């Protein structure tokens, strides 16, 4: 057990202080309000009947004080933030949060990336006191968002700084990064928070297989496996007649199944082009337009 | 009836009597006193007692009765006309008017003033009014303060001109110390050789009991009346929670948790205490009156005078 909030000395001092305060309050409370009465003669006749109650009253006051002391002790312990020590002090964790284009899908509310960040926060929360962790953003490359640290605040802040990208995610890059970070650790763990629409999965699996000491946890977000998106979109002028333009759009199905997708090009509220496309697995379809948007 | 405070002189009389008197007995109080005297006289004139007179022969002029002559009787009182009619020697007897001594025994213990209670002030008004009425009836009035022993005393005095002295004395009485009615009233009975009416004005709080004190007066053949002054605030004190009760007289303390249910039982105990005092007095044929300080003192006195014909 270790204390993250307070040192043992500070905890002792806090407990002592709270105990003194509680006891002082009870002692002050025992200095009850004095009321002058003409005679205690009549009250005595009532007190005789209530001798048994007097014991109960003292006991109640004592129990009340014990309860107050217990609450004060629990409060001090909460401030001290005790954590159970990890079995091994060599645990190292890398958390890869997928920030590729597919993570902007909204089947998870508000979107997959937000859901992935929330999961990453929970992973950080569950780390024990001696764990060292690193948070990194995964897309076409890997961007570390924190150092390898036991500072929860730094890790939480790193997760918050992960931003969406319009890039294709590549897990093999992420895996190599993780192996570099965790190479010296005997107890290494890799958390991948992703929707699974990543390139380089096979390579990553092979690399992971070569490092048996690495525990890989895959935490999936997103309820659908559909992964269709605009892969390329550009506009250029004709070299010989610069008053006219040509546009090209390429839509790709990253999934393993044939998908049907609706391509819709807009200029503000006006729909310029609309078509329903059927895309075989891992295939792309391109469309070119002359003077797109010109009346 | 002539008042010692003539209307034109009344403010001056109060001023001369000092601040104590004017604080305790204001102008309205003195006006009520005069009304009470008139009422007391009217009540007295309609009652069978009329004037207080002795049955024994004396120097009075009003014929009372005949009695047979015995050797040694004064020849001057022989009724020769009766002898002429009946042939028997009889003596004429006359009623002698005699002033009665009224002793006002005022409980001046600390319980009478505890928690700014107005019991003592009320008792002082009652005592002053009774004394005033008695002085107006040409009776001898004495005021005796008591607590755990006899306190200040106004020696027996008579005449309406002494009213201001009476008021001044009563006004200066203050509440302090314990109550020991047995000790005080025994001492009083032993000291006062002249018997009369003893009016005990008290709140009835005596740890040792009130019975022995009242008995001491009865045994000494005082015509005893008990007036118990009660303060309703004591019946429904605004006390709740954990408290330390301090006895105003003894300083004894009691730690107690006061609940609403306990306050109900306190009122029952209070009523029981009053009933015990009343029952004792009734058994001993001692007139007993309970006076609430919420009742105007003149109303309370009229009630006493009508019910008990105490004075007049």
Q: Are strands A284-290 and A245-253 parallel, antiparallel or unpaired?
A: antiparallel
Contacts of B120 in chain A (CB under 8 A): none
CB contact under 8 A, A33 and B242: yes
Asked whether residue B15 carries a pLDDT value surpassing 60, the answer given is no
CB B90 within 8 A of CB B130: no
Tokens of residue B306, six digits? 């009508």
The per-residue pLDDT of chain B, averaged, comes to 81
Between CA B53 and CA B60, with CA B57 as vertex, the angle to 5 degrees is 60
Residue A193's DSSP bridge partners are: A97, A219
CB A101 within 8 A of CB A166: yes
pLDDT tens, residue by residue, A24-33: 888 776 667 7
- What is the gyration radius of the CA atoms in chain A, in angstroms? 33
CB B149 within 8 A of CB B183: yes
Rounded Cα–Cα distance for residues B123 and B127 (Å): 6
B238 → chain A, closest CA residue: A35
Render the burial of B246-266: b for 16+ CB within 10 Å, e for the rest: bbbbbeeeeebbbeeebbebb
In degrees and rounded to multiples of 5, residue B144 shows phi and psi of -130, 115
Contacts of A60 in chain B (CB under 8 A): none
Determine the 3-state secondary structure of A193 from DSSP: strand
pLDDT-based confidence at residue A93 (cuts at 50, 70, 90): very high
B252 → chain A, closest CA residue: A40
Provide, rounded to the nearest whole percent, the portion of chain B with pLDDT above 90: 32
* Pick among A32, A35, A39 to test the B interface (most B CBs inside 10 A): A39
Residue B67's DSSP bridge partners are: B91
pLDDT tens, residue by residue, A162-200: 999 888 889 999 999 999 988 888 889 999 999 888 888
Determine the 3-state secondary structure of B289 from DSSP: strand
Between A36, A41, A42, which is nearest B246 by CB?
A: A36
Between CA B16 and CA B22, with CA B20 as vertex, the angle to 5 degrees is 65
> Which one, of B146, B144, B188, B138, lies nearest residue B163 by Cα?
B138
Contacts of B234 in chain A (CB under 8 A): 37-38
CB contact under 8 A, B242 and A32: yes
Contacts of A58 in chain B (CB under 8 A): none
- A80 CB-contact burial (10 Å; exposed 0-12 / middle 13-18 / buried 19+): buried
Tally the C-alpha atoms within 13 A of residue B68's C-alpha that lie toward its C-beta.
3
Per-residue pLDDT at A174: 92
Rounded Cα–Cα distance for residues B120 and B231 (Å): 10
pLDDT tens, residue by residue, B162-201: 888 998 899 998 888 889 999 999 999 999 888 888 999 9
Rounded Cα–Cα distance for residues A139 and A170 (Å): 6
Does residue A37 belong to the interface with chain B, where contact is any CB pair within 8 Å? yes
Per-residue pLDDT at B12: 44
Residues of B with CB under 8 A from a CB of A: 111-112, 114-115, 117, 119, 203, 205, 207, 231, 234, 237, 239, 241-250, 252-257, 262, 265-266, 269-270, 273
Q: From the centroid of its chain, how far is CA A40?
A: 67
pLDDT tens, residue by residue, B200-218: 999 988 888 889 999 999 9
Model ipTM? 0.71
Asked whether residue B18 carries a pLDDT value surpassing 60, the answer given is no
CB contact under 8 A, B242 and A34: no
Asked whether residue B310 carries a pLDDT value surpassing 90, the answer given is no
Q: Are strands B241-247 and B253-258 parallel, antiparallel or unpaired?
A: antiparallel
Provide, rounded to the nearest whole percent, the portion of chain A with pLDDT above 90: 34
pLDDT tens, residue by residue, A51-92: 556 677 778 878 888 999 999 999 988 888 887 665 555 789
Cis peptide before A54 (omega within 30 of 0): no
pLDDT tens, residue by residue, A142-159: 999 999 998 889 999 999
* Pick among A26, A27, A30, A41 to test the B interface (most B CBs inside 10 A): A41
Asked whether residue B146 carries a pLDDT value surpassing 70, the answer given is yes
Rounded Cα–Cα distance for residues B154 and B141 (Å): 8
Determine the 3-state secondary structure of B186 from DSSP: helix
Tokens of residue B200, six digits? 């005990």
Per-residue pLDDT at A167: 85
Measured over the CA atoms of residue A140, residue A141, residue A147 and residue A149, the dihedral's sign is positive
CB contact under 8 A, B249 and A39: yes
């Amino acid at each position: 057990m270790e204390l993250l909030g307070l040192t043992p000395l500070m905890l002792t001092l806090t407990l002592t202080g709270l105990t003194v305060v509680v006891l002082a309050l009870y002692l002050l409370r025992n200095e009850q309000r004095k009321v002058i009465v003409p005679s205690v003669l009549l009250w005595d006749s009532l007190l005789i009947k209530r001798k048994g109650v007097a014991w109960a009253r003292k006991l109640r006051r004592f129990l009340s004080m014990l309860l107050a002391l217990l609450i004060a002790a629990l409060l001090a312990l909460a401030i001290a933030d005790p954590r159970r020590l990890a079995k091994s002090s060599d645990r190292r964790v890398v958390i890869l949060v997928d920030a590729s284009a597919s993570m902007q899908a909204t089947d998870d509310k508000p979107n997959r990336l937000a859901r992935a960040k929330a999961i990453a926060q929970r992973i950080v929360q569950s780390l024990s006191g001696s764990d060292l962790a690193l948070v990194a953003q995964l897309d076409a490359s890997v961007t570390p968002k924190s150092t390898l640290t036991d500072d929860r605040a730094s890790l939480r802040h790193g997760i918050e700084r992960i931003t969406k990208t319009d890039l294709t995610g590549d897990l093999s890059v992420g895996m190599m990064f993780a192996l570099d970070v965790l190479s010296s650790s005997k107890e290494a763990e890799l958390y991948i928070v992703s929707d699974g629409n990543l390139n380089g999965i096979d390579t990553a699996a092979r690399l992971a297989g070569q490092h048996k000491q690495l525990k890989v946890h895959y935490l999936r977000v997103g309820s659908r496996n559909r992964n269709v998106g605009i892969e390329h979109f550009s506009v250029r002028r004709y070299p010989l007649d610069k008053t006219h333009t040509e546009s090209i759009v390429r839509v790709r199905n990253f999934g393993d199944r044939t998908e049907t997708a609706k391509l819709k090009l807009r200029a503000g509220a006006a729909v310029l082009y609309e078509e329903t496309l059927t895309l075989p697995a891992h295939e792309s379809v391109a469309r070119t337009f002359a003077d797109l948007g010109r009346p | 009836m002539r008042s010692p405070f003539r209307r034109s002189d009344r403010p001056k009389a109060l001023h001369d009597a000092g601040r104590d008197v004017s604080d305790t007995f204001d102008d309205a109080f003195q006006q009520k006193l005069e009304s009470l005297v008139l009422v007391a006289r009217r009540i007295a004139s309609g009652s069978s007692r009329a004037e207080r007179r002795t049955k024994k022969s004396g120097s009075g002029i009003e014929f009372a009765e005949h009695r047979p002559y015995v050797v040694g009787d004064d020849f001057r009182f022989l009724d020769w006309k009766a002898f002429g009619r009946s042939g028997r020697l009889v003596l004429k007897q006359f009623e002698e008017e005699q002033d009665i001594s009224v002793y006002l025994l005022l409980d001046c213990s600390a319980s009478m003033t505890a928690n700014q209670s107005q019991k003592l002030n009320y008792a002082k008004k009652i005592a002053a009014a009774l004394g005033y009425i008695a002085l107006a009836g040409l009776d001898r009035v004495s005021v005796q303060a008591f607590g755990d022993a006899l306190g200040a005393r106004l020696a027996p005095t008579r005449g309406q001109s002494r009213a201001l002295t009476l008021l001044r004395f009563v006004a200066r009485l203050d509440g302090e110390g314990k109550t020991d009615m047995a000790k005080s009233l025994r001492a009083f009975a032993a000291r006062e050789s002249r018997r009369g009416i003893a009016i005990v004005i008290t709140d009835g709080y005596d740890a040792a009991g009130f019975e022995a004190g009242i008995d001491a007066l009865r045994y000494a053949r005082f015509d005893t009346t008990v007036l118990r002054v009660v303060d309703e605030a004591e019946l429904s004190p605004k006390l709740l929670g954990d408290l330390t009760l301090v006895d105003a007289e003894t300083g004894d303390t009691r730690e107690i948790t006061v609940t609403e249910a306990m306050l109900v039982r306190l009122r029952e105990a209070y009523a029981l205490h009053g009933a015990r005092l009343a029952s004792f007095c009734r058994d001993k044929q001692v007139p007993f009156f309970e006076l609430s300080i919420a009742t105007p003192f003149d109303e309370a006195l009229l009630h006493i005078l009508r019910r008990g014909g105490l004075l007049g």
